[in-house]
Amino acid sequence: MGYIAWLAFAVAVGAMFEASTTRKKLEKRLNELEVEVELLKYDKKHKEF
């Protein structure tokens, strides 16, 4: 019984770690996309001159 409990605990910890790293990757990518959008807005605004 203890073995199954440890296994379930390890799976849960692994899932939490995976979720946190995925969230960090997504937040980083979101920041990159926001920068790209700002650059595109800047380019569009300055091409009119």
The full DSSP string for 5-45 is: HHHHHHHHHHHHHHHHHHHHHHHHHHHHHHHHHHHHHHHHH
Rounded-to-integer distance, Cα 12 and Cα 6, Å? 10
The predicted pLDDT at position 48 comes to 62
Range of the domain at 7: 1-49
Q: Which residue type sits at 11?
A: V
Provide the domain count of the chain: 1
**Secondary structure letter of residue 18 according to DSSP:** H
| pTM metric for this prediction | 0.57
Task: State pLDDT tens for residues 1-49.
Answer: 789 999 999 999 999 999 999 999 999 999 999 999 999 998 888 876 5
